[in-house]
Structure 1
Amino acid sequence: MSRRATGHVGVWAEMQRQRQRELEAEARQRRQEARQARAYERRAAQSYREYKQAEAIRRTEELDAQVAALQELLASGCRAPAFRPSTLMLAEDLPPLAAVVEGVGRREPDAVVEYFSAALYTSTAWPEGFPRRVAMTYDPAARQLVVDWELPAGSVVPQSKYIRYMYAADQYRETPRPVGQRRALYKEVVAQCMLLVLHELFAADESGALDSVALNGFVDGHDPTTGRRAQIFLATVMAECSSFRELHLAQVDAESCLAEALRGQLSARPDQLVAIRPGRRPEEVGHRVATHGGDEEPDLYEMDPIAFEGLVAELFEAMGMQAVTTQRSNDGGVDVKAFDPTPIRGGQIVVQVKRYRNTVPPTAVRDLYGTVQDAGANKGVLVTTSGFGPGAHTFANGKPLELIAGRELVDLLRRHGLRGRLGDGDRTDSAPPLAPLPEPSLPDDYNILGMSWTGSVALDVCALVCRGNRILSDDHLVFYNNPQTPDGSVRTLPATAPDRAAICASFDTMPDDADRLVLVAAVDPEANPDADLSGFTDARIRLLDPALTELGQLQVSDGRPHETALVLGSFRRRASGDWDFVLGGKGYPGGLEELLREFGVEVD
């Protein structure tokens, strides 16, 4: 049986946390205003080239500061003041806090849980944006607190290492942080978070209620073994108070301390969501389990309109763009102004934000198009909490407009380290729920190949497992009617935005006689009987890991008139066992049937 923490300390803790959120929002606004002011000063005092170079240096320094903060998470957290009841903001009309403190002294489970939940929830030791979700119970016989604590996702580690300004191309170029560095730093962050939680709990224990703490650290993600969204445990430890107090946390190596000194367990690959078996869980104790912080994810329907626009601006910044909200008056129909530094397809973007519950009418899309033309922007984006009808999509087709519905918005927020939900059910009135992933277990190690393109043409994306230019068998053609190969090493997956199709491939478990994985696209003759691939443009393949972290992008040739099927490219096994991508480009006027016959597939 579980319950929300609703006692007096919980009320006070929520007041304190709300004030912290307000201060964080004010700080973000001040930082944004300061950035804008500095940018104006630089523009006035420097040449365009110098400004761009200075901006690249500033962005690189921000990346370095983020990494330094992660590396010093435990040390800086230990310097934060320990939780004391007197630090909570007290309302005059609430009962005295002494009753809760006395309950902790008597080892009353509800009081103990209330007290230590507040200690974690109101802590100032955690960086802004880190999760605060906790489930907790207390075993008075063992004097043990049993805790499940949410860890930050792998996206907390910056993917870029530094940014340079390329004057000749007038663009910024981001150098990715090596995968090995990202993995190592995230593993270190997980270990530091576990130690910091233990430190805060034991430091808050003035009455000696805790002999030990059983702590499990989890993240929300797609379980690689099932493909379903679940709590995935990445670390666990049972720490005795006497042993823990002997540690000098500011000097320890977090991973060694957790695994060796405290005999805990840490996932070998937390970045890949490789789970460990948690230790004692709160629901196993036999007392009521209290949860706190789970509702911190804001309901987008109920957000203040200005805060909602700010969240959308944060999303665009998290996606690598520059974005600011506009003034409420004289904004010309623009809520957020963004700039995409990507060459060729980038440029100025105007964003309109509609916090609706009902379907957005086509008139709103027409108005956005007029705003794009008036502003001379490269693209217009309409973001809503609801959905769009056929009329809106029909008008947007072929125009520099992008429509982002509620479910897609929530998915983008979560994939870029931000939070938001759509009411209690987390779904829009007009958008259907996302399709579930396949029931069979996914391979232990796999990649997701996410494919996207512009244009309205309806396409079927297929994968062929081949030796040379011949398919191994008809069963090794993966498409909507045959969603996986016999061994399950290649299969279709539901695509997540911005992808429009997705293939799961476990290269290490492919048949020994397979040396190619060929990806093809073909016009759907039932949906678009008269279409060709001239509407297949700006195509790309994103290489993702199981946590949906983007590892790289592969450019794909555009389609051509009179062709209705196209080889996008193929992954080829080299003598070393590695797989390289070779760009395709060969088109077929006879559609998918002609293409498949060339690869040896028997087509009825």
Structure 2
Amino acid sequence: MDAIPASKKEIDARYARLIAQVAIRTLHEIFTADPAELVTVATFKGRVSVKDKATGLPERPYLIDVSAERELFSTFVLADLDPVYTLKKLNALVSPHPYDLEAVRPVVDFEALLAQYKFVEGIDAVAGLDSRRDLLGLTPGEFEHFVRQLFEAMGMKSWVTQASRDDGVDAVAISEDPMFGGLCIIQAKRYSKAVGIEAVRALAGVMEDKRATKGILVTTSWVGTDSRDFAARHGRMRIIECEELKYLCREHLDLDVLISLPKAPPKRS
């Protein structure tokens, strides 16, 4: 019988599944090898060593970034699950085209951070400004994951993102962490201009639908006075704009991020 070569679509699907299997197996090995009291959360960042086709230089693009809590992961039946769907359940950041080595940017690139500190040592800190991560340079999906990790660093126990109706710009997160006053809805907006009041009203609607006790809108830009007044009248909403977002990144992620807005936000009186 003659061998029939697999199609590119089949090869791509197999490669994506292989990456998912490696990620899930690695998380399993971490939780199995370490005591529960020592490791409660594990993160896997998958990279490949290749040469840039445009320059011929070696590079190591990330194809996957996923975190899992032991409590949730321990409920999975590894022999029966589909690893690709498991990554979706874990809100993993996965390359849309892994076989073509299309990279994703991990929320925190530890190697890049270390290299940055070595680079700026002993020189004017202003010289390193361009090396800061620009949040407006993230894709909508990457920004959602960035906000997710920020709130996890702030003490959020868990959250589940849901697809929005505006191409992934918004992310909805749910947490039962008591420090946020019970059930909390978080909406992320990676904008370069003002966020309209319709987004704040939409957040209020989601809060009502989910019976949440608190709602938080996080944006790289700012909101208008009407939005702030609406949130104040609502009483259970908080708005985090660009400057506060940068402060929270420094405070909880130890990251000095950049938000390259085309114009400065209006000053508050």
TM-score by length of 1: 0.26
What amino acid does structure 2 have at the position aligned with 1:356? Y
> Residues 421, 351 of structure 1: CA spacing in aligned structure 2 closer, same or farther, 3 A cutoff?
same
- After superposition, the Cα gap between the structure-2 partners of 1:368 and 1:329, relative to the gap in structure 1 and judged at 3 Å, is closer
Alpha carbons of structure 1 residues 149 and 384: separation in structure 2 relative to 1, 3 Å: same
| Paired amino acid for 1:377 | A
Aligned-pair distance for 1:336? 2.5
Q: How does 1:20-39 map to 2 (within 5 A)?
A: 22-23=62-63, 26=64, 28-29=65-66, 31-32=67-68, 35=70, 37-38=72-73
Residues in 1 aligned to 2:164 and 2:229: alpha-carbon distance in whole angstroms: 31
| Other-structure match for 1:149 | 119
Residue 360 (1) aligns with residue 195 (2): yes
In the alignment, which residue of structure 1 is the partner of 2:218?
383
> What one-letter code is carried by the residue in structure 2 that aligns with 1:405?
E
Indicate yes or no: 2:250 matched with 1:409.
no
Matched residue, 1:317: 152
Q: CA 1:380/1:16 → structure 2, altered by over 3 Å: closer, same or farther?
A: same
Give the CA deviation at 1:370.
1.2
Structure number with higher helix proportion: 2
Report the residue type matching 1:340 in the other structure: D
Q: Could you tell me which amino acid in structure 1 is paired with residue 136 of structure 2?
A: Y
| 1:38 Cα offset (Å) | 1.4
Conserved in 2, the CA contact under 8 Å of 1:359 and 1:388? yes
Number of matched pairs: 180
Matching of residues 12-51 of structure 1 within 5 Å:
16=59, 19=61, 22-23=62-63, 26=64, 28-29=65-66, 31-32=67-68, 35=70, 37-38=72-73, 40-41=75-76
Contact 1:357 1:429 in 2 (8 A): no
Cα distance change of structure 1 residues 422 and 334 upon mapping to structure 2, 3 Å threshold: closer
Aligned to 1:163: none
For structure 2, the residue ranges without an aligned partner over 5 or more in a row are 1-51, 78-108
Residues 335, 295 of structure 1: alpha-carbon distance in 2 compared, 3 angstrom cutoff: farther
Equivalent of 2:113 in 130, 140, 150:
130
Q: CA contact under 8 A between 2:164 and 2:171: conserved in structure 1?
A: no
1:129: how far off? 6.5
Q: For residues 328 and 35 of structure 1, do their structure 2 counterparts lie closer, same or farther at Cα, with a shift above 3 Å needed?
A: farther
Q: What secondary structure does 1:322 align onto?
A: coil
Measured in 2, the distance between the counterparts of 1:38 and 1:362 equals 39
Deviations along 1:144-202, one digit per CA (max 9) or x if unpaired, are xxxx634xxxxxxxxxxxxxxxxxxxxxxxxxxxxxxxxxxxxxxxxxxxxxxxxxxxx
Determine whether 1:393 maps to 2:240: no
Partner AA of 1:390 in structure 2: T
CA distance in 1, matches of 2:251, 2:263: 19
The alpha carbon displacement at 1:130 in A equals 3.2
Aligned AA for 1:38? F
| 1:359, distance to aligned residue in structure 2 (A) | 1.2
Question: SS of the residue aligned with 2:183?
Answer: strand
Q: Tell me what 1:303 maps to.
A: 138
Higher relative contact order (CA 8 A, sep 6+): 2
Distance change >3 Å, CA 369–CA 394, structure 1 → 2: same
Give the match for residue 89 of structure 2: none
Shift of 1:373: 1.2
Calculate percent identity across the aligned residue pairs. 31
Question: Where does structure 1 differ by over 3 angstroms across 4 or more consecutive aligned residues?
Answer: 34-37, 39-42, 126-131, 293-296, 426-429
C-alpha separation in 2, matches of 1:353 and 1:329: 11
Question: Which residue type is aligned with residue 119 of structure 2?
Answer: W
* Structure 1 vs Structure 2 CA RMSD: 3.7
Q: What is the rounded CA distance, in whole Å, between the counterparts of 2:251 and 2:227 in structure 1?
A: 26
Report Cα offsets for 1:6-34 as digits up to 9, x if no partner. xx9xx666x625x1xx25xx1x31x33x6
